[in-house]
Structure 1
């Protein structure tokens, strides 16, 4: 059977199944906690009317209690999955340099399947909602979205020699995520109203299963692996550690500092962006917005549309602007969007927030490509292991931190977390200024750094 070199279908199906699940998770937990705290059923609403209309004024205090409990639930769920997900991500993606990229894709798909089936089980049998925290922990033992994307980006880096092609294909992966997530977000609200929670959970589980079968039986491996080689466990771990250390200690001083600064920039920007997005659904469920399932679906779709506009931005801006400028535009887009969200009190304003945020994803593929271009092909797995580790750490810490802050501030000003996220963007902007000031030439021809390091420029070196 002829196999394929396309990870985009895996990313697309994974994004559709996951983004069908994510809004449902918060809404399901929110409704279960509403039932437990208020001893009343969740207010019913029409397709697009606000459920707040069904709330009496004396329920305001109970609604705030539910908001706080739901945000704390998200915090506990993220924290319980933090350590195993980080460890598995770092080991698997770095290990892919020795044993192939497919393992970094297959393992997270198994975890996602476990996660979906767990939600279906809890929903169908109406089990204790806090069992979902245990399900999140179990799925994290197989890695997470950071693990899979780290494997996919390493896979793409193996296939692409041209640096511009590498940037665009990485941006394509982000765009595929946006398109499929947007379709899932729009359909989720209607699916929920028509069939309840069980059928969407079941659909997500089936899609994850099909994705897993494609990855196992149809996806071709990019790394040629000698299966006759046997490496002891301690030796394998030693190789993993040395590969990661060589990223920062093996090159010249300029390359190492560039890599460190770019990773810190990646972490700080992702923390602000991910943290702000993590409480959007709760913010939309709260007064004065009080969005219904349909509006939440349209809002999620509008948010994921930034993946498409960001891809277009990367494609167009890369023809006439430097990488530094593209990243500046992306960070500024996030800042304006978060500030507008903090003051959005109407449905129209909440949708208009998505307009200035249209380039919010651009810094991610550009930074990944910039980091990939300053290391050799034999170090791509170790690099993206570190990047995936940072993504997993950032996603978990940001979600837990912003959920906790939202729980503490929802009583007096729900929009505070978005202003905080916008303010934290000063960190990546400052780091970007440092990189531009001290290493302006290296961004135009990063391959020169590899030759300065003594890195081979034949088969293992990236080709401009």
Structure 2
């Protein structure tokens, strides 16, 4: 700017001329946004767009399959229930469509599971050297491609099974496990204090829940007013907006030496498969026991919880509830109050209870809710059954915080790659397994799958007792273990 004329008038003319105005604007924009380490907007917008699409796809597939199987148009009315209880033929059609829809969901999950799992493990572990933003950017690109493919199928009424191909294509960019693993690693980079880290991670879970609730309740009205095309387009635009924010505004949480990275890039890629192995190989036996037990508890609870919840929309579409899109949106939105209440629960209970006690209370909440859901037959009870599950999300941020505190900062990416990868595999397997079970049991007892999911929640609850019996749940002990290991590594380092 040394060449800028001193005169005010000439200075203004200079700044408004050619490309200088744009350059100055970019400089001030970057200066204003420097130091912006808010990953919460990313999770919020992603949750809104993704959870707008999730029930949208289920209902779109359900309606297309209804038309194919029954050769009739889908019964769309304004009444709260679409069941014709006096028609046995109608009931058999519902069972047939329910079975086909659950199997379609199972195939979609299974075929996209392996690519998504491999990408999650690779990217989140790779982020320890390359930075966390890559774990956020690629899944957003995949989600954008996913929405655009669904929009094309819906708009041009293409073959329904192209949706499975779209799911597979998007899985090569990673999935929700990748972006959440990256975001939780991002937060772990910013905080050393265990409590602040746990509350920040609980805040991410809360943003995930609240914005997904807004999306779910708006989806029903969106479908009712504008059909399926506009919601798919809206979700795609939100993913695009999110991508712009991450690329141009969000700061990287890690300091990366570009020269050193370029020199070791090939070596890092070659050693990626060993990073998760070294996470356990270099740790003490006590720390490894803590990590392995926590991961097993995390994934077994996730298996029962998400496996059961993946069937809720199909259960609501089935007899005797037969909800329309508006009621499905209200029910799904009410479920997301769980995230806000769970965040408050973590904040309050962490002041007076141990981590394992908070986790146990959350798991008990899920167990009670799933068992009650198995016997729900009326609309009122389907709404009320959400109340016992208000603390269902508490175990996840607490366990993530316990895991994060047990490893060093240079191992956060490898840790969350391991957790996200196994969790992604677990939830995908749970969705496929429970959809298959639901398809086999829907004719004689639709609630059986919910009882089974509740039974699976007893496994992590039992393992919590093992964790507490050996005293591994103590946060101070976990931190002292980490400090001892870092001290040993420093002592064993040869002096130059």
TM-score > 0.5 by shorter chain: yes
What is the aligned-residue RMSD (CA, Å)?
A: 1.5
| 1:267-278 paired onto structure 2 within 5 Å | 267-278=299-310
CA contact (8 A) 2:222 2:231 kept: yes
Aligned match for 1:75, one of 90, 106, 109: 106
What is the match of residue 345 of structure 1? 377
Does residue 366 of the first structure (1) align with residue 398 of the second (2)?
yes
- Further displaced range: 425-434 or 411-420: 425-434
Does residue 355 of the first structure (1) align with residue 374 of the second (2)?
no
Secondary structure of residue in 2 paired with 1:235 = helix
Secondary structure of residue in 2 paired with 1:45 = coil
Aligned match for 1:112, one of 143, 147, 151: 143
CA contact (8 A) 1:44 1:54 kept: no
| 1:172-321 paired onto structure 2 within 5 Å | 172-229=203-260, 230=262, 235-321=267-353
CA contact (8 A) 2:355 2:473 kept: no
Aligned match for 2:435, one of 403, 406, 415: 403
Offset at residue 310 of structure 1 (A): 0.5
Secondary structure of residue in 2 paired with 1:291 = coil
Secondary structure of residue in 1 paired with 2:382 = helix
Q: Deviations over 1:191-228 (max 9, x none)?
A: 11000000001100000010011111111111111212
CA contact (8 A) 1:86 1:389 kept: yes
What is the match of residue 461 of structure 1? none
Alpha-carbon distance between aligned partners in 1 of 2:345 and 2:42, rounded to the nearest angstrom = 24
CA contact (8 A) 2:85 2:91 kept: no
Offset at residue 243 of structure 1 (A): 2.3
| 1:77-116 paired onto structure 2 within 5 Å | 77-116=108-147
What is the match of residue 5 of structure 2? none
Secondary structure of residue in 2 paired with 1:446 = helix
- Further displaced range: 430-439 or 313-322: 430-439
Alpha-carbon distance between aligned partners in 2 of 1:309 and 1:417, rounded to the nearest angstrom = 26
Does residue 65 of the first structure (1) align with residue 83 of the second (2)?
no
Secondary structure of residue in 1 paired with 2:73 = coil
Alpha-carbon distance between aligned partners in 2 of 1:197 and 1:443, rounded to the nearest angstrom = 48
Q: Deviations over 1:8-44 (max 9, x none)?
A: 0010000001111111100000000000000000002
Aligned match for 1:34, one of 66, 79, 83: 66
Offset at residue 356 of structure 1 (A): 0.5
What is the match of residue 427 of structure 1? 459
Offset at residue 49 of structure 1 (A): 1.8
- Return closer, same or farther for 1:441/1:211 CA change in 2, 3 Å cut-off: closer
TM-score normalised to structure 2 length: 0.90
Secondary structure of residue in 2 paired with 1:414 = coil
CA contact (8 A) 2:52 2:215 kept: yes
TM-score normalised to structure 1 length: 0.96
Give the unaligned 5+ runs of structure 1.
459-464
Secondary structure of residue in 1 paired with 2:306 = helix
Q: Deviations over 1:404-438 (max 9, x none)?
A: 00001001100001000111112101211111001
Alpha-carbon distance between aligned partners in 1 of 2:236 and 2:263, rounded to the nearest angstrom = 36
Secondary structure of residue in 1 paired with 2:370 = helix
Alpha-carbon distance between aligned partners in 2 of 1:436 and 1:218, rounded to the nearest angstrom = 43
